[in-house]
Copies of this chain bind each other. A is one copy, B any other.
Amino acid sequence: MLVVMKAQATPEQVQAVCEHIEQLGFRAHPLPGAQRTAIGITGNQGEVDRGNLEELAGVAEVIRVSKAYKLASRDVKEEDTVVRFAGTDAAIGGNGLAIIAGPCSIETRDQAFAIAEAVAASGAQFFRGGAYKPRTSPYAFQGLGLEALRIMAEIRERFGLRIVTEAIDNESLDLVAEWADVVQIGARNMQNFSLLKRAGRLRKPVLIKRGLSATLEEFLMAAEYVMSEGNYEVILCERGVRTFADHTRNTLDLSIIPAIQRLSHLPILVDPSHATGRRDSVLPMARAAVASGADGILVEVHDHPEKALSDGPQSIYPSQFAGMMNELEQIAPVVGRTLPRGIRVEARTGAAKG
């Protein structure tokens, strides 16, 4: 159910409608738009009686939303969601492309700083690095944890990059929310509903990666779990699905980009590194992602991928990243975008091999 307020409704009227809804035992989600505010109603105890709602002051109309996802749906919020970061002009969604780059795992302070410097120099605004790693094997490197979070906080301080990193359980969620700017929920946890709900109670943006066999609806329902708890800053990320095809690690499904944008107002990024698992496919798929209309790219960069503790073969070199940025800058205008470049240092040349 969705209550659409009149254009001239006052904040007090919006507030009163929300209180009325909560008194009925439901949850109210005020969603301000450019023209007027809508209020989503969620809760699993049946239907609200719409008659009473329509008589409240400031209410334009009450609409039944039939899709399984409500708060994530364009039916409820027509304008694109743009996630902004206070004190910076970095944003995810909107006209600018968001570029999130960094190593799979934070391995050492030196490694992290070297890569951060390189990606910042090429114009990235966001830095990614794994602190808590969900590994298929219990015997594999599981990440540096809090130490990695601290290193990334220093990187934010030093390079002005916003930090994106993954939480894998309650404990790491609280820590990541404390230290980072965006909390990532990985593909394997896309249907860890308990974790999603807890992320919904944070007041930090949440980036959800598509599960390996998630349908579009399940993907949006994962977002809905977060949003149903009151956190509306959700970012989606396509990272390949599992199919029979064996020339890449997963099969990148770029056709979900226009499909998501048709159905939802949430921003959607693409991770060409995990999708392909191959360095030589990352640039072509990054270009394709932007050309398909994605809101940005999440990409693994490593200065010595041959020594990486995880995912070396899919990490691109800093020089490749610089080249990618130049390519994306040229493609962006075709899809009505720009490539904002954060602290932009001149792209270094001649560095590593491609």
Over the window 131-155 of chain A, the binary record of Cβ atoms lying under 8 Å from chain B Cβ atoms (1 yes, 0 no) is: 0001111111110000000000000
- Which residues of the partner chain B approach A228 to less than 8 Å between Cβ atoms? 138-139
Over the window 173-214 of chain A, the binary record of Cβ atoms lying under 8 Å from chain B Cβ atoms (1 yes, 0 no) is: 000000000000000110111110100000000000000110
Whether A100 is near chain B, meaning CB under 8 Å from some CB there, is no
**A284 contacts B293, CB within 8 Å?**
yes
- Which residues of the partner chain B approach A134 to less than 8 Å between Cβ atoms? 191, 193
Q: Give A45's nearest chain B residue, CB to CB.
A: B139
- Once bound together, how far apart are the Cα atoms of A218 and B140, in whole Å? 14
Which residues of chain A in 53-90 are interfacial with respect to chain B, using CB atoms and an 8 Å cutoff?
A: 68, 70
Partner of A194, one of B42, B169, B253, B262: B169
**B213 contacts A242, CB within 8 Å?**
yes
**A218 contacts B281, CB within 8 Å?**
no
- Which residues of the partner chain B approach A244 to less than 8 Å between Cβ atoms? 213, 215, 241-244
- Which residues of the partner chain B approach A288 to less than 8 Å between Cβ atoms? 254, 288-289, 291-292
- Once bound together, how far apart are the Cα atoms of A53 and B192, in whole Å? 42
- Once bound together, how far apart are the Cα atoms of A142 and B44, in whole Å? 9
Whether A352 is near chain B, meaning CB under 8 Å from some CB there, is no
Query: What would 9 A/B residue contacts be, using CB atoms closer than 8 Å?
Result: A42-B139, A68-B136, A138-B225, A170-B194, A243-B251, A243-B253, A254-B284, A258-B280, A288-B288
